[in-house]
Each structure stands twice: as C-alpha cells, then as structure tokens.
C-alpha cells in the first residue's frame, strides 16, 4: 500500500473555511496540539485582556473597577456570549463556579422541582465528578442514585425518576447522545433532563431550546479556551427559573446584594445561580477568549470537526490497521470532536507522542485520546500526528521504561 500523501492534508486545509482562525491563537510552532478537549489553546485576545484587567482595571482602577469595568456583571456578560453556542437566550446563562460545584447546585435545585420523585439517573461511564456529585446529592437529600445502561438510558426511567443527567459527549470514547431524542424520553417519563456539555460546547452544535432540555452545565476550559480552571456555565430553561432554588444561597445570588439584608431573597432569573464573588480574572480572560467564535457558524465548525476526525480515523485505519481499536463511533451523528484509540500501552504511546511534539492525553485504563478543536487544528496536524504515531509504534518508543511511572495528570 502506498503511503498516504501529505499534500492531501495541505489541500484540505487550503479549502477549510476556518483555516485562518488558527492565527487567533498563540500556539507553539513545533507542537501538534490535540488536547483542546482537555485544555483549550490560548487565544491571543485572552492574553491581551488578562494583562489589561490585571494592570489597568485591578492595578489602576482598584475597587472602582467593579462598577467602571462592569466586573459585577461579568457572569452574565460572559454567559450571553456562550448562549448562541448552546442554542439558548443570552439572558439565561450564568458563569461562575467550577463544573463540579455547579453540578451540585443544579442537581439539588432540579430534584426540588420534582419533590414527589426520589431517583437520580446517571450512566456509569460518566465523567467521575458527575457521578461523585450525584452520589453526594443523593446521600444529602436521602435520594436513590440509579445507574442506567449507557446504550439505553430511557430503560432506567420510571415515575420515580426526578432527573436524568447525562454527559452529551463521552469524555472517554467521544460518543455523543441524541440530545433531543434522549430529552424527549426523559420528559415522557416525567423526569427533568440535565446535560453536561463539557465535551461538546464550542465543537459540536448544541440546541438546547430545540431539544426542549431543562438544565445544562459545561466547563469553559476545553473547546471554549477560557484557560486552566476557568469557571463553568449553567443554563436553566426559563419555565423553571421562578421556582429554581439552588442550595448555595450566597450574597451574589441575592435580589439586592448590596442592601446587606439579613434574609435571603433570590435574584430573578438565572442570576440566582450565583453564590459568592465572581472570579474576575478568569471571567475576563474567558470573555476575550470567546471572541474567537464571533462570526463562526456552528454548522461550519461541525463540518470542519468531522473532516478532521474522519481524516484521523481513515489514516489510523490505513496506516496502523489492527494495532489500535478505534473506540469512537464512526457514524457522524454519534461522534463528538475527539477520537479515542484503545491500546494496552496507551499511556506510553501518549507519552512517546508528546516527546515528539504531538500532544494528546491518556485516560485509564487503556485509552489514548485525541481532541480536534476545529478552530485551530489543521489537517496537516492530523497527518503529522498519525505519521508520528506510526514512528512511535515502529520504534517501540511507547515501551520506554520511563513510561512505567505515570505523571500525576495523565
Ligand atoms: C464531562 C465532564 N464533567 C466535568 C468535568 C470536570 O469538572 P470540573 O470543571 O469541576 O473540574 C470534566 C472535566 O474534564 C468533564 O469532562
């Protein structure tokens, strides 16, 4: 079989409608970065903005910047930028805490909307924090946590289920649920539908309104490029907002925070998702980072993402055949924006690739993950990544003794 030709990749990039978006990011020139599904790359605008926020707004403006730079409204201003990426009204998105803390708040509030029901349903392969939080909520409120069959979540639903909470795109395999179909099944059972959008927002079109979902949460440091530890977003359908009662009733979620009243009265709308002082530096960086989506249609984003993942899978099939099992669905409708390869030495494979400047990551026990952020990953990156993967396997670089000990973050 003749070796695939790199010029095909060059031609695909030349025809890509997003080819020039890569210039909006500060990427090291000698790195193929396929880990934007874990930590997105740095948008140039975020670096500039952070400098301004630190020295100008904080350094010079000091406390007056809460008003003059409108720090106080950052959670909603940033939420409004995220809204079009998930198909919701700009006034209905809040940004503030970590995904984990946000999940706790939304799960408790959601179960309070279904007081006659005692069960939370999740799937067992969900991202661990989702399961851990649900178990904590179940224990705190005396509810039952029920694990469903990932292939058929609806089978676990009955008239005792308050909330079905799923991750739209699976962190390990990159498999994607049918957002509207599963939401409809939850509603048929009288349950609320919560989506964790960490692995879809910014890479996969999401339309929560069309799907008629109830609640969504998602992180902003992956495909939204907000930077390490940037705060998560939450969305609650307007039909639930008036009765929405999240458990961390802090002063920033009060109707009148600076009246300093003794008793809590929630703010109207999604603003009641706030608890304490917003993380201004992180929100400012995220606000600027989201500019890279200005003028980008989600359909174009999806087309480029699928072109990249299709190309990666085709090259792996052609050049590495049975060495790796592609565990990501090949069907477009079932695939997010990452491709996962199973191999018993996956950790060593990922480390050897990183040594060669190709950055993916490893998920226990045997998965090498590669994320394709369509705004800055090119087809040439894909070609070079597979070329390096072939070389790693040929020279058995993955078997180096140094890779027997895993780093703290894999
Ligand atoms: C689906 C999903 N949920 C939650 C998280 C993490 O939550 P947190 O942002 O609180 O660390 C991740 C992190 O990768 C994730 O993939």
* Cα–Cα distance for residue pair 196/369, rounded to 1 Å: 19
**Catalytic residue list contains 13:** no
| pLDDT given for residue 406 in this prediction | 85
**Catalytic residue list contains 223:** no
Distance 140 CA to ligand 1 centre (A): 21
pLDDT, tens digit, for every residue of 196-205?
Answer: 999 999 999 9
Question: Residues near 168 by Cβ (< 8 Å), separated by ≥ 6?
Answer: 176, 177, 179, 195, 196, 197, 199, 200, 204, 206, 336
**Catalytic residue list contains 105:** no
**Catalytic residue list contains 118:** no
Burial of 152 (0-12, 13-18, 19+ CB in 10 A): exposed
Tokens of 167: 């991750």
Question: Does CATH number 3.40.640.10 belong to domain 48-293?
Answer: yes
| pLDDT given for residue 1 in this prediction | 40
Q: Which entry of 171, 177, 221, 372 is annotated as an active-site residue? A: 221
Compute, in degrees rounded to 10, the torsion defined by CA atoms 88, 89, 93, 99: 0
| pLDDT given for residue 5 in this prediction | 86
Architecture (CATH level 2) of domain 6-30+296-404: Alpha-Beta Complex (3.90)
| pLDDT given for residue 4 in this prediction | 75
Give the pLDDT mean for 371-387.
98
pTM (2 d.p.):
0.97
| pLDDT given for residue 407 in this prediction | 86
| pLDDT given for residue 3 in this prediction | 61
**Catalytic residue list contains 127:** yes
Longest dimension (CA), the chain: 76
Report the percent of the chain where pLDDT is more than 70.
99
User: In ligand 1, which atom is closest to the CA atom of 126?
Assistant: 1
Is 98 a pocket residue for ligand 1 (Cβ < 6 Å)? yes
Give the pLDDT mean for 391-410.
90
Q: Which entry of 25, 33, 104, 127 is annotated as an active-site residue? A: 127
Is 35 a pocket residue for ligand 1 (Cβ < 6 Å)? no
Comparing 402 with 99, which gets the higher pLDDT?
99
Cis ω for the linkage preceding 136 (within 30 of 0): no
pLDDT, tens digit, for every residue of 47-82?
Answer: 999 999 999 999 999 999 999 999 999 999 999 999
Q: Do 48-293 and 6-30+296-404 have the same topology in CATH?
A: no
| pLDDT given for residue 404 in this prediction | 82
| pLDDT given for residue 383 in this prediction | 98
* Cα–Cα distance for residue pair 328/350, rounded to 1 Å: 17
The domain limits of the chain are 6-30+296-404, 48-293
User: In ligand 1, which atom is closest to the CA atom of 129?
Assistant: 4
| pLDDT given for residue 410 in this prediction | 79
User: In ligand 1, which atom is closest to the CA atom of 171?
Assistant: 16
Tell me the average pLDDT of the chain.
97
């Amino acid at each position: 079989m003749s070796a695939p030709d790199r010029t095909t990749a060059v031609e695909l990039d030349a025809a890509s409608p997003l080819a020039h978006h890569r210039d909006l990011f500060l990427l090291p020139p000698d790195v193929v970065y396929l880990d934007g599904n874990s930590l997105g790359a740095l948008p140039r605008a975020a670096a500039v903005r952070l400098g301004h926020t630190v020295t100008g707004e904080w350094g010079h403006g000091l406390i007056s910047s809460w008003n003059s730079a409108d720090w106080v409204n950052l959670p909603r201003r940033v939420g409004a930028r995220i809204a079009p990426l998930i198909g919701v009204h700009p006034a209905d998105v809040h940004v503030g805490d970590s995904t984990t803390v946000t999940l706790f708040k939304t799960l408790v509030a959601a179960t309070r909307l279904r007081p006659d029901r005692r069960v939370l349903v999740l799937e067992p392969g969900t991202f661990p924090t989702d399961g851990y939080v649900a178990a904590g909520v179940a224990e705190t409120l005396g509810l039952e946590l029920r694990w469903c069959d990932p292939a058929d979540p609806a089978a676990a639903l009955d008239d005792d289920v308050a909330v079905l909470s799923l991750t739209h795109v699976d962190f390990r395999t990159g498999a994607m649920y049918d957002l509207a179909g599963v939401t409809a099944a939850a509603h048929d059972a009288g349950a609320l539908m919560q989506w964790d959008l960490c692995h879809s927002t910014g890479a996969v079109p999401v339309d929560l309104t069309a799907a008629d979902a109830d609640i969504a949460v998602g992180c902003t440091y992956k495909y939204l490029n907000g930077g390490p530890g940037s705060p998560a977003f939450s969305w609650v359908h307007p039909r639930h907002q008036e009765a929405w009662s999240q458990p961390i009733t802090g002063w920033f979620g009060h109707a009148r925070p600076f009246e300093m009243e003794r008793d809590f009265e929630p703010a109207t709308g999604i603003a009641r998702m706030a608890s304490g002082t917003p993380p201004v530096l992180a929100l400012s960086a995220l606000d600027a980072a989201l500019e890279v989506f200005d003028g980008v249609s989600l359909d174009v984003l999806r087309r480029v993402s699928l072109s990249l993942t299709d190309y990666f899978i085709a090259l792996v099939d052609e050049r590495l055949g049975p060495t790796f099992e592609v565990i990501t669905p090949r069907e477009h409708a079932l695939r997010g924006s990452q491709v996962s390869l199973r191999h018993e030495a996956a950790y060593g494979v990922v480390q050897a690739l990183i040594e060669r400047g190709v950055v993916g990551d490893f998920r226990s026990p045997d998965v090498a993950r590669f994320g394709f952020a369509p705004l800055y990953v090119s087809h040439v990156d894909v070609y070079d990544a597979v070329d390096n993967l072939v070389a790693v396997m040929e020279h058995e670089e993955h078997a180096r003794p140094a890779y027997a000990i895993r780093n703290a973050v894999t």
